[in-house]
Structures are given as C-alpha cells and as structure tokens.
Amino acid sequence: MAVVMCMMVVSTTQAPVRPICDQVNETLGDCLDYLTVGVKDPSSLCCDGVKELSTRANTTAIRQKACNRAKDIAMHTSNFNNLRGSGLGLRCGALLPFPISSIADCAM
C-alpha cells in the first residue's frame, strides 16, 4: 500500500512553474509572425502558449506582471499590431485576462 501511495505522489508532482515573464516572452515570441507581419492565423504553438497564459494568470499580481511584460514587448517590437494583440486570446479560443497591447492599462 505504501508503494502505491508513493507512486501516486510521484506521478502527480509537477515540475516547477517557470516565471510568468519568461512564459510571456516565449509565448509572444511564438506569436510574432501573427502579431507583426500579418500571417493570417496564429500558429498552434502560439495558441498553446496563450491558453497556458490564460490559465496561469489567475491572480491580480500575476496578471499585472504578465500584462506589463506583454506591453513592454509590444512597445519595443517593430510593426506590432495592437488590434491583433488585443484579440489574440479570442483568436486562440482562450479568455486571456489581460490585453496584449502597447497601450494596455495593466492596473487591473
């Protein structure tokens, strides 16, 4: 019985969660073709990251950090399309709880 319990604990233990800013960097990096050069649809890799962000951004502090990082990326990326950024969550089928835009209000 003890062996089974240990196996259950080991199998449900997750790897450490990476910092939210790193995840925003990676996700938006995967989405840049859609957000800058006008590729018709975001990639599946992009949308997978957006969906993960929508799940992870579950507190005000995390949402603010993620929003500010996304805003910084948008502000410093040539040809960033704010309209596409703001609609990225919906485009990927996720309710992203913060905007991706160079003019975002991250005080939420």
Rounded to an integer, what distance in angstroms lies between the CA atom of residue 70 and that of residue 53? 11
Q: For the domain bounded by 19-91, which CATH number is listed?
A: 1.10.110.10
CB atoms within 10 A of CB 82: 15
Look at residue 28 in the predicted model and tell me its pLDDT: 97
Distance of CA 85 to the CA centre of its chain: 11
Distance of CA 33 to the CA centre of its chain: 16
Look at residue 6 in the predicted model and tell me its pLDDT: 34
Residues of the chain predicted below pLDDT 50:
1-15
